[in-house]
A = this chain, B = another copy of it.
Amino acid sequence: MMTRDDALSLDATDPLAPLREQFTLPPGVLYLDGNSLGVLPKATAERLQQVVTQEWGTGLIRSWNSVGWMDLPQRVGDKIARLVGAGPGELVVADSTSVNLFKVLSAALSAVAADAPQRRVMLSERSNFPTDLYIAESLARQHGCELVLAEAEELPGLLDERTAVMMLTHVNYRTGRMHDMAALTAAAHAAGALTVWDLAHSAGAVPVDLKRADADYAVGCGYKYLNGGPGAPAFVWVHPRHVERFWQPLAGWIGHAAPFEFTPGYRPAAGIARYLCGTPAVLSLAALECGVDAVLAAEPLSGGRGAMTALREKSLALTRLFAGRVAATCPQLSLVSPSDDARRGSQVCLAHPEIGYPVIQALIARGVIGDFRSPDILRFGFTPLYLRFVDAWDAAEHLREVLATGEWQAPEFSRRHAVT
């Protein structure tokens, strides 16, 4: 059984330990919610001041050319591409995850409608993040398709000659369970279906290799493990074999082949730029770039293994440590996230049939920030960029104390907030 001193020893020899210095961590806070909102990189505030006071305030409209505002979706996209196994020029940052899902699902359904119109089923996981299911539901209605939801284990068996698209979130937001992207993509392709992957809980959290997995379409979130700030823009990737076959219906001017010719007919830009729509959100893009840079900073510390491989190793060690301590000290809680490393994302999820919500609130009152996901999940995200082994140990100890003392029973911890 690991002691607190063991955890401190792991921190002392952790090659990634210096990465924590890139972040502003409020004193007295143990932050296990980077899977919901990543923490603030120190570089962000200064960079935003530069963008606001110099690029906008002084440069004004000239900055679209002079400092490359127009290229930000591609520039930040190329950096994210390195974290998810995509090539340069294949991925852009734009809009929200929901809007990008609408784009890629629309394009995928158009591709199938052209090639195999008898395929009318979109397949997804019942416990997928709701916005993914809402967007799919909307497009199913529009395209006259059926949205079939199933448990993870049932998915391979449901792929057949009626399946148009299988849309999955790589790491489940509630359970932390990670799909085998390569195997499921191969199964989908074998059945003649396309795949759409939501990397919201993967990008910057676990190694992803979109090209090697031969995925078709992907989207992902900028404000979780990429540390882009609240409501940061999202990203969208399309495999080069599909990207120019169709364009997506949000055919705004920035996705046009020549936006500044101001011509009335839509001609989609070459490549992934056709997945852009409105004017780039410069302030948000600048903030996101700082967050992505903080992840890429793991590269030189990775001993040649690559940023995500090194981060993954630490992430698994952190989640093992926390889950192990909880299993030993909190028998009331059951482990929902997989104990198998290969199937677990960067979070530990616990369940209690009744007291999950007040326990999380009591932890937050102690400065240990996780979150609650209805109806019964206590969710703890472990971001190896800024969390130490001793943090994982201490968090488990706080959880044990909250349960042992009964402090979760205080009435204020049962009061519900709008955002939980």
| A interface residues (Cβ-Cβ under 8 A, vs B) | 24, 26, 29, 31, 33, 36-37, 39-40, 44-45, 48-49, 52-53, 55-58, 60-65, 69-70, 95-99, 102, 126, 129-131, 133-135, 137-139, 142, 149, 174, 223, 229-234, 249-254, 256, 259-266, 277-285, 287, 364, 369, 371, 373-374, 417-420
A134 and B252 contact, Cβ closer than 8 Å, known pairs A45-B53, A149-B264: yes
A57 (CB) vs chain B CBs: closest residue:
B40
A266 partner residues in chain B, CB cutoff 8 A: 133-134, 137-138
Contact of A52 among B45, B70, B97, B134 (CB under 8 A): B45
A39 (CB) vs chain B CBs: closest residue:
B60
Further 12 A-B residue pairs, CB within 8 A, beyond A33-B61, A133-B264, A283-B283: A26-B58, A36-B61, A60-B369, A64-B418, A95-B96, A95-B278, A96-B277, A98-B252, A126-B264, A129-B253, A137-B265, A138-B249
User: What is the CA–CA distance of A36 and B134 in the complex, to the nearest angstrom?
Assistant: 35
A364 (CB) vs chain B CBs: closest residue:
B62
B249 touches A134 (CB 8 A): no
B52 touches A37 (CB 8 A): no
User: What is the CA–CA distance of A96 and B69 in the complex, to the nearest angstrom?
Assistant: 16
Give the one of A137, A234, A260, A287 with max B CB within 10 A. A260
User: What is the CA–CA distance of A70 and B52 in the complex, to the nearest angstrom?
Assistant: 24
A364 partner residues in chain B, CB cutoff 8 A: 62
Closest CB of chain B to A98's CB: distance in Å?
A: 3
B260 touches A420 (CB 8 A): yes
A252 and B65 contact, Cβ closer than 8 Å, known pairs A26-B57, A138-B266, A263-B130: no
- How many chain copies does the complex carry? 2
User: What is the CA–CA distance of A372 and B99 in the complex, to the nearest angstrom?
Assistant: 32
B263 touches A231 (CB 8 A): no
A56 and B253 contact, Cβ closer than 8 Å, known pairs A36-B61, A61-B36: no
A282 partner residues in chain B, CB cutoff 8 A: 229-231
B249 touches A102 (CB 8 A): yes
B53 touches A24 (CB 8 A): yes
A134 touches B284 (CB 8 A): no
Closest CB of chain B to A180's CB: distance in Å?
A: 23
User: What is the CA–CA distance of A102 and B98 in the complex, to the nearest angstrom?
Assistant: 14
A230 touches B56 (CB 8 A): yes
Q: List 28 A-B contacts (CB under 8 A).
A: A26-B57, A29-B60, A37-B61, A40-B52, A40-B53, A48-B48, A48-B283, A56-B230, A61-B369, A64-B230, A64-B418, A65-B418, A69-B230, A99-B277, A129-B253, A130-B253, A131-B252, A133-B264, A134-B251, A134-B266, A135-B250, A137-B251, A137-B265, A138-B250, A142-B249, A223-B279, A231-B279, A231-B284
A261 partner residues in chain B, CB cutoff 8 A: 374
8 nearest A-B residue pairs (beta carbon): A96-B278, A98-B252, A131-B253, A230-B282, A231-B281, A40-B57, A64-B419, A134-B266
B256 touches A134 (CB 8 A): yes
Contact of A262 among B26, B130, B250, B254 (CB under 8 A): B130
A259 partner residues in chain B, CB cutoff 8 A: 130
Closest CB of chain B to A100's CB: distance in Å?
A: 9
A250 partner residues in chain B, CB cutoff 8 A: 98-99, 102, 135, 138
User: What is the CA–CA distance of A29 and B63 in the complex, to the nearest angstrom?
Assistant: 14
Closest CB of chain B to A391's CB: distance in Å?
A: 14
A281 partner residues in chain B, CB cutoff 8 A: 96, 230-233, 281, 284
A419 partner residues in chain B, CB cutoff 8 A: 64-65, 70, 260
B230 touches A369 (CB 8 A): no
User: What is the CA–CA distance of A174 and B264 in the complex, to the nearest angstrom?
Assistant: 13
User: What is the CA–CA distance of A281 and B223 in the complex, to the nearest angstrom?
Assistant: 10
A53 partner residues in chain B, CB cutoff 8 A: 24, 40, 45
Closest CB of chain B to A122's CB: distance in Å?
A: 13
Closest CB of chain B to A215's CB: distance in Å?
A: 22
A65 partner residues in chain B, CB cutoff 8 A: 417-419
